[in-house]
Amino acid sequence: MDSPVTPSPMPLTWTPRQPEWAATRGRDFAEADASFAGGIALKSLDDLVRSDPVWAGCWRSRQALKCATAAVRLIGRTENETALRDAVLLIAANDDPGPAGKVFSAYKRLAVRKPGFSSRFVAELADLMGFGHHRP
């Protein structure tokens, strides 16, 4: 009987805190300093996500739900996160999740996808949302 292979932990390629050289000098914190610090924070987050930690899939799913909730609000619907989750996860395989559920499904598909888009993938998303090209 073979023993299960335990994956070795991936080395961190990101710095968990702001580099010393990026810290402001003195007490005067100007708008440009805030912008610079925000950029460093975004770069650190980008480095962390690109290192593909084991929890990244869960985090992307959570972000997809947050984005779908915001998008649903923008199109004038009232569903919250719980209703969106229920619309997608508690229906039978071929049932219609409704307009808000379709938005969440599209964001879920985007969350598991590698960067970059093809016209075919955009067409699939349009079909999922109900905006696909229908031929007579």
Q: How far apart, in whole angstroms, are the C-alpha atoms of residue 51 and residue 49?
A: 5
Cβ atoms of residues 51 and 59 within 8 Å? no
Whether the full predicted model's pTM is greater than 0.85, yes or no, is no
pLDDT-derived band at 66, boundaries 50, 70, 90: very high
pLDDT-derived band at 136, boundaries 50, 70, 90: very low
Cβ atoms of residues 84 and 101 within 8 Å? yes
Boundaries of every domain in the chain: 20-50, 56-129
Amino acid at 11: P
pLDDT-derived band at 82, boundaries 50, 70, 90: very high
52: DSSP letter = -
How far does Cα 6 stand from its chain's mean position? 28
Residue at token pair 């930690």: 53
